[in-house]
């Protein structure tokens, strides 16, 4: 799947994103505070609404134009406003990310409108309050707190849309540098037996990246070694990368906050006698590793969201990781934010999206709309960007 265009309004947080077109690779640039992170966050929330329901996007409306296997669809929806306060919503969104729990006041948030339209303008389904039509035929009302894409996911035409909307990867490489996941021997043995091919493993959207890394190492060792080789090309001092139980790598790290039976990543560095577990490795080194595995384990058609891409990545990491992202932009779609001169200078101007904000309205401009970027100037691209009138007046 690729997102062709997107517009979004959040009536709870009181901001609006005007329609923006996306390509295979999208670098969102602009001054701090213009709304780059909000754009990624709104895409994340909308994708989760398919799986988890309207509670993810209370008081919101959006239109997303998508392409799946050569077919184009327009998904439009609007949800009811919450009865809780705005402050409570901010707290709720944070809590949902941590443990998936939800306050009872948000359980009744529902879809008041939802439709999917085909490229030729014909309507696949349409819901307005209690009225539901599927292929021009009225249907009984279905659960309004859930998306019809989820409720009707067994329908042959809706199934690929449902599957595609599950292929959103919100990069978590920065958090994984200090994160562990429970290791259940029986669970992993059962899980490993299910994956006959690497693509089967990539499609397992319910597994964490670390869990996938462990299974990849055990079931598909040659593919695992290829990713490790990419990593060793960046950090030549690394001799080995292993995934397994923390107790196998660093028993001394065990404690009440770090149980032994958790998954850990360990590196063997030239000249260092013992394995280094990921919490003892520099954040740049481990984040680079996690980015490489996130890309290797993402199924074709995945939409990858990376906020502040340069965070914790040293100059020696940026070039290679950026190159890996650009190489995958054929079968993955990237939406990335960055302020870093190296990244901006090395991403083609045609892939830039300059984000601006006027009050509560966010507007995104592509390079073709900015004549100042279509120049033969010898200035580096980062300087061209920062000299743009639209960049300087990013917030008005």
pLDDT at residue 316 in the model:
76
Length reported for the chain: 396
Supply 180's token pair.
């562990």
Residue with tokens 């709104």: 42
CB of 83 closer than 8 Å to CB of 71: no
The closest alpha carbon to 355, from 34, 39, 37, 23, belongs to 34
**Region label for 239, one of left (φ > 0), alpha (ψ between -120 and 50) or beta (otherwise):** alpha
The CA–CA distances, whole Å, from 308 to 36, 208, 240, 355 equal: 9, 21, 29, 14
* Collapsed DSSP state (helix, strand, coil) of residue 84: coil
**Region label for 66, one of left (φ > 0), alpha (ψ between -120 and 50) or beta (otherwise):** beta
- Give the pLDDT of the chain (396 residues) as one tens digit per residue: 999 999 999 999 999 999 999 999 999 999 999 999 999 999 999 999 999 999 999 999 999 999 999 999 999 999 999 876 555 555 455 445 444 455 555 678 999 999 999 999 999 999 998 899 999 999 999 999 999 999 999 999 999 999 999 999 999 776 665 566 677 777 777 878 889 999 999 999 888 888 899 999 999 999 999 999 999 999 999 999 999 988 888 777 655 565 557 888 999 999 998 899 877 888 889 889 999 999 999 999 999 999 999 886 777 788 888 888 988 888 999 999 999 898 998 899 999 999 999 999 999 999 878 888 877 665 688 888 888 888 877 775
The closest alpha carbon to 241, from 256, 224, 257, belongs to 224
Strand partners, 354: 29, 365
Task: Specify the pTM.
Answer: 0.90
* Collapsed DSSP state (helix, strand, coil) of residue 64: strand
Supply 210's token pair.
């670390």
Q: Is the dihedral of CA 365, 366, 368, 373 positive or negative?
A: positive
Strand partners, 75: 64, 116
pLDDT at residue 230 in the model:
94
Residue with tokens 């009181």: 14
CB of 57 closer than 8 Å to CB of 114: no
DSSP assignments along 295-347, one per residue: HHTSPTTPEEEESSTTTT--HHHHHHHHHHHHHGGGTSEEEEE---HHHHHHS
Backbone angles phi, psi at 96, to 5 degrees: -60, -40
Helix axis angle for 221-234 and 315-327, nearest 10°, is 140
Backbone angles phi, psi at 302, to 5 degrees: -75, 140
* Collapsed DSSP state (helix, strand, coil) of residue 183: coil
* Collapsed DSSP state (helix, strand, coil) of residue 138: strand
Which residues lie below 8 Å from residue 243, measured CB to CB, with a gap of 6+?
A: 210, 213, 214, 217, 263, 264, 265, 266
pLDDT at residue 378 in the model:
54
Backbone angles phi, psi at 181, to 5 degrees: -130, 140
- Residue 158: half-sphere exposure toward Cβ, Cα within 13 Å: 19
């Amino acid at each position: 799947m690729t997102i062709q265009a997107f517009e979004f309004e959040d009536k709870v947080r009181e901001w609006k994103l005007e329609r923006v077109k996306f390509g295979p690779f999208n670098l969102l640039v602009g001054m701090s505070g213009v709304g780059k992170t909000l754009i990624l966050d709104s895409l994340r929330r909308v994708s989760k609404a398919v799986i988890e329901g309207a509670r993810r996007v209370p008081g919101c409306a959006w239109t997303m134009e998508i392409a799946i296997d050569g077919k184009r669809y327009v998904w439009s929806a609007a949800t009811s406003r919450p009865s809780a306060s705005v402050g409570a919503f901010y707290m709720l969104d944070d809590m949902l990310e941590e443990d998936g729990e939800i306050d009872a006041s948000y359980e009744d948030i529902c879809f008041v409108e939802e439709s999917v339209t085909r490229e030729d303008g014909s309507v696949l389904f349409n819901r307005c309050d209690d009225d539901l039509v599927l292929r021009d035929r009225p249907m009984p009302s279905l659960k309004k707190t859930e998306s019809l894409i989820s409720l009707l996911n067994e329908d042959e035409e809706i199934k690929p849309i449902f599957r595609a909307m599950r292929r959103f990867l919100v990069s978590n490489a920065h958090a994984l540098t200090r994160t562990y996941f429970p290791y259940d021997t029986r669970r992993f043995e059962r899980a490993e037996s299910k994956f006959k091919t690497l693509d089967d493993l990539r499609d397992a959207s319910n597994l964490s990246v670390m869990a996938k890394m462990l299974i990849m190492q055990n079931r598909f060792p040659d593919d695992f070694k290829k990713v490790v080789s990419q990593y060793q090309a960046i950090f030549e001092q690394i001799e080995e990368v292993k995934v397994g139980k923390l107790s196998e790598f660093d028993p001394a790290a065990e404690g009440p906050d770090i149980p032994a039976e958790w998954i850990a990543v360990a590196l063997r560095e030239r000249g260092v006698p013992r394995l280094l577990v990921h919490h003892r490795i520099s954040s740049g080194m481990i984040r680079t590793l996690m980015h490489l595995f996130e890309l290797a384990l993402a199924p074709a058609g995945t939409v990858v969201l990376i906020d502040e891409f340069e965070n914790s990545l040293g100059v020696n990491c940026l070039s290679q990781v950026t190159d890996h992202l650009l190489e995958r932009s054929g079968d993955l779609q990237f939406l990335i934010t960055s302020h870093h001169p190296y990244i901006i200078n090395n991403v083609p101007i045609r892939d830039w999206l300059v984000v601006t904000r006027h009050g509560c309205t966010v507007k995104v401009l592509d390079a073709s709309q900015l004549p100042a970027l279509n120049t033969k100037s010898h200035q580096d691209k980062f300087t061209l960007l920062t000299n743009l009138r639209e960049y300087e007046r990013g917030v008005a």
